[in-house]
Structure formats: C-alpha cells, structure tokens
A and B are shown apart, each in its own frame.
Chain A
Amino acid sequence: MADAEKLTCWDSEDVFTIGIRLKTLGGQFHVDDEEPVELDTGYGGDLLVPWEMYTALELYGWEYPEEHWSVGISVSGERFEMPLSQGILVIPRLGREFEVLIDTFEGNEQFLIGRGFIRKHRILLDGPGNRVCFFAETD
C-alpha cells in the first residue's frame, strides 16, 4: 500500500482530474497555471485535446504520418481520422514532465488523459476522499 507521504493529490469532487500543463515541442504552454484534466479510462491514448487547442498550439508542426493516426467512431457509426502529434505533459505539482502522444479530431471539445498515460503511472482514485493522487516516485 502507498505511503501517504509520497502522494501528490488534487481535490476531485465530481470527475477525477489531475492538474497539468501541455507544452509543445516548441516550448509553448497551453495555460500559465495548471488546468484540471479528467482521467478517462474509456479513451485509449495518452492525451486527447480539443481541436481548437490543437490548431492554436500548432501541434500539426510535430505530427505523425497519417498512416499512424487512430480512427474514431461516432455514435452513428461514422468513422473519422484522429490527427496524432506529440508534446510534453507537465505536472507542476510534481515538478515533472512526460512525453506524450496527442490525439484530436475535428470538432472535438474534450480534454482527456487516457489509458495510454494512466498505464505508465501509479494513480490513486480516492472516491470517499474526493481526491486523485499521483505516486510521486513513479516514472
């Protein structure tokens, strides 16, 4: 069981979130301070960003070839491409940075941390305690 001293936590009363900043490979941040971003085990990638954020940060400047993009399927069965880029997920409270793959798709407004990132880290979803905690020693 985790040693509480090694946990870095965020209050999460409804959805489970951690505070992050997204940094492009060009050094540009999406916000000045941390933004709470939802952990979503229903999404398989590292990080899903809103389409407007993708274009505003010009993440297409560090994009993967189209043959490596994942495919999205809407509720109505429509298939669409998910442009894939890369960047740095910064967790200010931990003082750490992680290279991540970044998905988006046209019209997307969701900002999510997915299983691709969660699977590489030890994260505690503390429901009764209304918090999400990151084990600081994980890599």
Chain B
Amino acid sequence: MNVTIQIPDYLNAEFEQRARERYGEAGPARALQEAIALWLEAMAESDGVETERALNNLAYHRLKAELQREYQGKYVVIAHSALQGVGDTLEQVASLAPEARHRLLFRVGKAPHIRVERLWQMQRN
C-alpha cells in the first residue's frame, strides 16, 4: 500500500538521515514500518492497562461494602475484576495475580489522605 503523509522538515531530515545510516537507502521505509509496529504495540499495552484499571475499580466499588465488613485492616488485591486474595501483610499479597496488567492493592479501612497538589508550588520550572 502506498501512503502519502506530511512530516515536518526538521523531523523528516533527522529521521531520513538516521534511518539511512542504520539500514541504507531503503532505511526510511523500513524504519517507518518499525515505528508503526512499535506504536501499535505501545498503544495496545496502554489500552490494556486502562481497560483493566477501569474494570478493577468497578469491581472495587462492587466489593467495597463486603471488604469493609469482612476484612477490616487486611491487605487485599483486586485483579481481573475480582478479589484475588487477602493477607495480613503487604508481602503476603504483593505477588498475587502476577499475570494481570493492572492490580489494586490496599489495606481495607486505611485510606490514604487525599490531597490537592498545586503544580506551581512543587515545580521548579
């Protein structure tokens, strides 16, 4: 498939130079294919995390009352939209569901203080 795209001159000049240095005359086309593949891979990974994060937070709200009733002070892990385990220490639950892209891990009833952070107070530049 032939596609025509416009790339800013500054980007194109460096891209073509570095692609040719690495792969020769056909370098730009090959590097562009690799870049697209990498971008798709990164987006799939990112979308996967976002999706699992949303589902795990939905599960948390579904389970919240039960967790507060049954597991006060315990560490819990939610992954794959379900409760994966309960423990007395962080170490006991930290490695549960290792294949999950996203996990929620927290101590029931020990909510961290929610703050409002002002960027202009904490940034140097």
Binding site for B on A (CB under 8 A): 15, 25-26, 38, 40, 42-45, 48, 55, 60-75, 82, 84, 86, 99, 101, 103, 110, 112, 114
Contact = CB atoms under 8 A, between A and B. Distances in A.
A73 B117 CA distance: 6
A119 to B, nearest CB: 11
Interface string B97-125: 01011111110000110111111111110
B106 A64 contact: yes
B112 A84 contact: yes
DSSP majority for the A interface? Answer: mixed
19 contacts: A25-B94, A43-B122, A44-B115, A45-B117, A60-B53, A61-B100, A61-B103, A63-B53, A63-B105, A65-B104, A67-B57, A68-B106, A68-B114, A70-B117, A71-B115, A71-B117, A73-B118, A75-B120, A99-B90
A46 B49 CA distance: 24
**B interface SS class:** mixed
